[in-house]
Amino acid sequence: MQENEIYKIDVFDYDLENDSLFFKYKGKKYKTSTRIDNIILDLGVDGSPVGAEILNASKMFAVPKIALKNPKNFYAEISISKESIEMKFTISVVIRRHEAEKPAVVHALNDVNIPAAQVAMSY
């Protein structure tokens, strides 16, 4: 990824019944997934993130499930170092006819040895 490049999310879906939000971009070929807390992080053949599934999404963003069906915007920034993984998500949803921006951040140790990478994605 070039510095400051933001990948366009090609696939974005929210499963209301399972409260699961899924997104990915098709710029790199998928190889494997790893679970970090309530996030299933999808990795490409080069080890860099290509998408993710956020489990219990309504709880993570503290919004009603129905608000996640038609988001106005979504942004993900995933930073991986040798020691740690940081995932920042921001979703804009409509609640009671008002647009609200809801952030969520997940920090974890990189105990699964994912290669260092920094990726930003937008919907």
pLDDT digit string, tens, across residues 39-83: 999 999 999 999 999 999 999 999 999 999 999 999 999 999 999
What value does the CA radius of gyration of the chain take, rounded to a whole number of Å?
14
pTM: 0.92
Is 81 within 8 Å of 100 (Cβ atoms)?
A: no
Q: Alpha helices, DSSP H only, in the chain?
A: 57-61
C-alpha distances in Å from residue 96, one per residue of 51, 58, 100: 30, 16, 10
What are the structural domain ranges in the chain? 7-122
